[in-house]
């Protein structure tokens, strides 16, 4: 296949449809549709989102989504997308250096020295308790009282602003309600690609900018797919969820 994007464009033009029409129906941004038709996959989200765009595009034009996706896979298998990875957020695994550190000569010297010092302190403590038991007990009680006072002071100092910060919502408005429906609110903290599939209705693919808020409704549940788990916050049925993951982490989530 010479160009998968040219194929999509030719079908759309035969149907007499514009990119704006397709965008309004599928909720896929016009810019992303243009990138598809021009084979600019380097400017699109990860392939899992692109396949969602293609599925919605094909359905809107009356094409079989499975057949359209097969054409895309055939186009990709020809090597046309050599620089386009299946997952743009690979998991990085770091080789542990614990073993080499343990076998380090200086580590063994420090460990031996620490053991010797601990032994000296232990012996000195035993001798002191043997010959001066009353003084040791008096100092022990004084130390316990001092530690208790410090702990109480620390608890008092840390029980105010930090708790308020942890409970502060990123949503400025109160939770939205709709009778007989479950309401899902998503706010973007950073740029994020999302796909929301309600148990009733049509799935929506969106690219959200920082500060954007999108509201969805369903009968009971939602399935959410995002390429930036740390870049969005969600509130489902009035309950705000904690941070879902790290920045640029791909995540699939089903609510409730």
Cα–Cα distance, 250 to 231 (Å, whole number): 11
**Which of 149 and 175 is assigned the larger pLDDT?**
175
Which DSSP state fits 96?
P
Domain ranges of the chain: 4-80, 96-134, 182-255
Q: Rounded to 5, what percent of the chain is helix, strand, coil?
A: 50, 15, 35
Mean pLDDT over residues 157-172, rounded?
Answer: 55
Domain 4-80, what fold?
434 Repressor (Amino-terminal Domain) (1.10.260)
pLDDT band for 77, please (50, 70, 90 cuts).
confident
* Category of 16 on φ-ψ map: left (φ > 0), alpha (ψ -120 to 50) or beta: left
pLDDT for 2: 72
Diameter of the chain measured on Cα atoms: 102
Average pLDDT, the chain: 79
86 contacts 47 by C-beta, under 8 angstroms: yes
207 contacts 45 by C-beta, under 8 angstroms: yes
45 contacts 227 by C-beta, under 8 angstroms: yes
């Amino acid at each position: 296949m010479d160009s998968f994007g040219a194929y999509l464009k030719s079908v759309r033009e035969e149907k007499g449809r514009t990119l704006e029409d397709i965008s309004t129906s599928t909720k896929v941004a016009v810019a992303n549709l243009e990138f598809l038709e021009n084979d600019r996959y380097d400017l699109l989200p990860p392939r899992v989102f692109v396949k969602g765009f293609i599925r919605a595009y094909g359905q809107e034009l009356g094409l079989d989504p499975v057949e359209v996706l097969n054409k895309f896979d055939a186009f990709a298998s020809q090597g046309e997308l050599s620089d386009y990875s299946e997952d743009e957020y690979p998991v990085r695994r770091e080789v542990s250096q614990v073993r080499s550190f343990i076998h380090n000569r200086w580590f063994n010297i420090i460990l031996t020295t620490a053991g010797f010092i601990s032994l000296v302190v232990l012996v000195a403590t035993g001798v002191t308790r043997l010959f001066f038991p009353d003084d040791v007990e008096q100092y022990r009680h004084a130390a316990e009282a001092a530690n208790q006072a410090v702990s109480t002071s620390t608890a008092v100092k840390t029980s105010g602003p930090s708790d308020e910060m942890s409970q502060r919502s990123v949503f400025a408005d109160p939770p939205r309600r709709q009778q007989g429906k479950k309401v899902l609110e998503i706010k973007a903290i950073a740029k994020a690609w999302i796909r929301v599939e309600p148990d009733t209705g049509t799935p929506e693919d969106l690219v959200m900018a920082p500060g954007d808020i999108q509201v969805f409704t369903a009968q009971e549940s939602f399935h959410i797919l995002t390429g930036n788990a740390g870049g969005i916050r969600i509130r489902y049925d009035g309950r705000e969820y904690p941070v879902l993951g790290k920045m640029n982490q791909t995540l699939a989530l089903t609510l409730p």
